[in-house]
Amino acid sequence: MAGALSHFRICDFTGQLAGAGATKWLAAFGAEVIRIEDPVRQGRWDILRGIGPFADDRRGIDLGGAFNNHNTDKKGITLNLRTDKGKEILTEIIKKSDAVTENFAAGVLEKWGFGYEDLKTIKPDIIYVSNCGFGHEGPYSKFKTWGPIVQAVSGLTFSSTLPQQPPAGWGYSYMDHTGGYYMAMAIMLALLERDKSGKGQWVDLACTEAGLSLNGPALLDWTVNQQPMRQEAGFNSNRSQYAVMAPHGIYPCQGDDEWIAISCRNDHDWMQLSALIDADLADTVKQWCSSFDALQYRLDQQDELDEHMMNWTREREKFNLQERLRHCEIPVAAVQKPAERIDQDPTTGNFGLWPTVTHSQIGEVRVDGLPVHFSETDWHMARGAPCLGEHTEEVLVDLLGKTTDEVTRLREEGVI
Amino acid sequence: MTVLDGIRVIEIANERIAFAGKLLGDMGADVILVEPPNGDPGRQLPPFVDQEPGDNRSLHFMHYNTSKRSAVVDLNSTAGQSTFRDLIGIADVLIESEPVSRLSTLSLDYADLVGTRPGLIHVAVTPYGRNEPLSDLPVTDLTLMAAGGPPWSCGYDDHSLPPMRGWGNQGYQTGCHFAFMSILTALLHRNVSGAGQFIDVSMTAALNVTTEAASYSWLVNQSTVQRQTGRHAAVKLTGESQVRCADGRYVNTGVPPRFPKEFKSLLNWMKEIGLSEDFPEVIFLEMGAAWDGPFDLSMIGEDETITAIFMAGRQALVKIANSVGAYEFFTGCQQAGLSVGLIYSPEEAFEDEHFKARGFQVSVEHDDLDRTVIYPGAPYRLPQSPWSISRRAPHLGEHTEEIMALIQ
């Protein structure tokens, strides 16, 4: 079955997550994504190639678990761009590609002789999407980033915090994931533009700008009301940011590091919740709920309210409490650990969110699927990430029409 | 003219999907926000212009509904349902976040609509997907995030403090990113096949696959990451990377120096600001600067000299951070080739010279407020297909008449 994007070929230099995540989406919908890696450095520019998690005791540049997760269904070839023949082969691939994608530091591809002007000469309607931290223009264009640096500079780390504590930030590269999403959007928008006008273009994606754009209402509160988010008193980001809801937080439950998130959107939710709490606590402690019936009081005395909430939740098992609150139609969710949301929560399994792919060396392994389903041209993941140079011969023979003898010679000459 | 000009989108107003409509509208799509007679409840969300609640004063609504038109259509009335069907007749995309069986009950679901509008792309964005009854239970951004995984990885070394959720409706926005990517994918497919389709987006699934190592550590070898202050949650705990600078602001010190030239820059900087004299480990920085060739990173913890050099690099960064302001630390380290970051508040980032120079601050005329309002700008730059806020957020039913004229 043809995929939604089977008619596209991507000449792909991306790596890590911010870039590889973008072309993973395209490959899952059928695009032919050809990853180009350096045989001299054994593809190590993508540091995820050789680092854990590992499925077993074996180690090596083909066995990285994160690399496998981000590069499903792509082809991998090696090409030594220090050689003229390597550059010639790349030129042939670009001629047959719809887009060239990369997330190097600004200017790297240009230094190799494949900047946008060069690419256009090779193929006039080529789409070139570069993704780097600060973009190719502006005072910080030479500055380097990785996910946590993007999050820091774009305001996202700051807004995940408790008062009187340093920022908690994001315990993972939210902006590598999300930078990859914006890169995928940029590639597809440019493909739609080419469908329409026949024109290619260079999209200069700056991950920090994508990150900054995710703070919308806070930025308008600043530009219109001059209300800064940095204030002496600090804030608790588990509370509602602007919508006036209380209680609204993450509370401890029975057991080790077990938590539950509860949001009361309005007085109705609160009346439901306080009836539940009252019933639980009637025999043991003085009833306190009724003093919090007024929303303004709940908001003004939120610290005290949260203390009461914690004393109530702490004695209860999180999934049981989740069931009871769901029954009352109060927004609630246990803070799920990876094992719980992946293996026990039936909603992710039912959705088919964790497909098993086959990697040439690792074998069968589960990966992140996509959180969407298409009725006509759904995504599909079958193959793990390519081992270094796994598809070099296939691409050179099938796509470029080389003979196997020529491929052997290129290998001997250190071109591939 | 820009890339999505000519694509008409019907968005059934709902706070959860407003951002997807904005992403479409700012790239040129004609996004018609279909609102009930009493308006999208999102119109009442704070913050407000001049902190005064009132009609057309919600900054939240203003941000998420740029480049859209508004039409009042009462889906609870037979006449409204008929109008809606007519609107679908001239639309390319329907995006909604209704209870899972509401549209089928009204005979307005994909199966009912595709006959009158072949090629329709219908995107349903729900908490757990269209086939899960749980999707009809109430959620907030906080509860979606807790269920989907992010808070498990975010928080502090001290696990008596709760897991944290970052602000900014990132749960809703993540669902919207996938809705938008799905629509672009379906449009590219429709360009060659003529066929539309129904697309089911799960908001919690979107978060589940946006947690980096938390998911794949479990998937690959059933290990569980633990949250840490201001840095990646990890299976094996790591050293601190967040430092408070002399001006009280924090920085992320990133990856410590690894190359001789980085040690050299660091050493020179310490000398310049007079810190090298009371830093006994300066000898190791000197050794790092004079090292021949690249370091073997795998020898950290094995080889005493290499370990000492790395430790000294990390300590030097902390010492400099403690002695200078956060901005000076950020720009100084970056100029020395070290990838570090200043932990800006959103408004500080917005005012930073880099983003200003790139034109990230965008002016939008507000005839309704008698002023110009500065908005955050383009998340990507497509020179052939420019992003722009084509109009301020619509007032309730502001375009009902002109939109009804399209279907008469």
Chain A positions touching B109 (Cβ under 8 A) are none
pLDDT of residue A283: 66
Closest residue in B to A352 (Cα) is B205
| Residue A87 C-alpha, separation from nearest chain B C-alpha, in angstroms | 27
**CA terminus-to-terminus distance, chain B:** 26
Question: Is the distance from CB of B232 to CB of A148 less than 8 angstroms?
Answer: yes
| Residue B165 C-alpha, separation from nearest chain A C-alpha, in angstroms | 5
Beta strand spans in A258-303 (E): 259-263
Closest residue in B to A310 (Cα) is B162
Higher pLDDT among residues B56 and A287, named by residue:
B56
pLDDT of residue A346: 97
The reply to whether residue A195 touches residue B373, judged by beta carbons under 8 angstroms, is: no
The reply to whether residue A152 touches residue B341, judged by beta carbons under 8 angstroms, is: yes
pLDDT classification of A286: cutoffs 50, 70, 90: low
pLDDT of residue A289: 84
Q: What is the per-residue pLDDT across B360-389, written as a single tens digit (0 to 9) for each?
A: 999 999 999 999 999 999 999 999 999 999
Nearest to B153 among A53, A172, A188 (CB): A172
Closest residue in B to A231 (Cα) is B345
Alpha carbon distance A144, A18 (integer Å)? 13
A284 burial class (0-12, 13-18, 19+ CB within 10 angstroms)?
Answer: exposed
A186-215 as b/e: b if 16+ CB within 10 A: bbbbbbbbbebeeebbbbbbbbbbbbbbbb
Side-chain half-sphere exposure of B28, counting CA atoms within 13 A: 16
Question: Is residue A353 predicted with pLDDT exceeding 90?
Answer: yes
The reply to whether residue A376 touches residue B345, judged by beta carbons under 8 angstroms, is: no
Alpha-carbon radius of gyration of chain B: 26
| Residue B408 C-alpha, separation from nearest chain A C-alpha, in angstroms | 29
The reply to whether residue A372 touches residue B4, judged by beta carbons under 8 angstroms, is: no
Nearest to B149 among A241, A252, A336 (CB): A336
pLDDT of residue A332: 98
Helix, strand, coil shares of chain B, percent, nearest 5, are 40, 15, 45
Size of interface A-B (CB pairs under 8 A): 511
Q: What is the mean pLDDT of residues B327-341?
A: 94
Q: What is the per-residue pLDDT across B31-81, written as a single tens digit (0 to 9) for each?
A: 999 999 999 999 999 999 999 999 999 999 999 999 999 999 999 999 999
The reply to whether residue A350 touches residue B132, judged by beta carbons under 8 angstroms, is: yes
Alpha carbon distance B18, A63 (integer Å)? 41
Strands B8-12 and B30-35: parallel
Q: What is the mean pLDDT of residues A166-191?
A: 98
To test the contact with chain A by mutation, choose from B122, B167, B201, B252 the residue with the greatest count of A C-beta atoms within 10 A, namely: B167
Helix B170-193, helix B18-25: angle, nearest 10: 50
The reply to whether residue A228 touches residue B345, judged by beta carbons under 8 angstroms, is: yes
pLDDT of residue B1: 84
The reply to whether residue B64 touches residue A265, judged by beta carbons under 8 angstroms, is: no
pLDDT of residue B292: 84
| Residue A405 C-alpha, separation from nearest chain B C-alpha, in angstroms | 37
Chain A positions touching B143 (Cβ under 8 A) are 261-263, 331-333
Q: Within 10 A of B76 (CB to CB), how many other CB atoms are there?
A: 9
Question: Is residue B155 predicted with pLDDT exceeding 90?
Answer: yes
The reply to whether residue B195 touches residue A351, judged by beta carbons under 8 angstroms, is: no
pLDDT classification of A1: cutoffs 50, 70, 90: low
Chain A positions touching B197 (Cβ under 8 A) are 374-377
Nearest to B221 among A5, A55, A168 (CB): A55
To test the contact with chain A by mutation, choose from B56, B94, B243, B384 the residue with the greatest count of A C-beta atoms within 10 A, namely: B384
pLDDT of residue B270: 93
pLDDT classification of A262: cutoffs 50, 70, 90: very high
Chain A positions touching B186 (Cβ under 8 A) are 4, 374, 377
Q: Which of A193, A325, A174, A353 is nearest to A264 (CA)?
A: A325
Closest residue in A to B231 (Cα) is A171
| Residue B156 C-alpha, separation from nearest chain A C-alpha, in angstroms | 6
pLDDT of residue B239: 87
| Residue B334 C-alpha, separation from nearest chain A C-alpha, in angstroms | 6
pLDDT classification of B255: cutoffs 50, 70, 90: confident
Nearest to A338 among B128, B196, B215 (CB): B215
Q: Within 10 A of A383 (CB to CB), how many other CB atoms are there?
A: 17
Nearest to B216 among A69, A157, A330 (CB): A69
Chain B positions touching A162 (Cβ under 8 A) are 156, 161-162, 164
| Residue B157 C-alpha, separation from nearest chain A C-alpha, in angstroms | 9
Q: What is the per-residue pLDDT across B271-318, written as a single tens digit (0 to 9) for each?
A: 999 998 989 999 999 999 998 877 777 777 888 988 999 999 999 999
| Residue B357 C-alpha, separation from nearest chain A C-alpha, in angstroms | 6
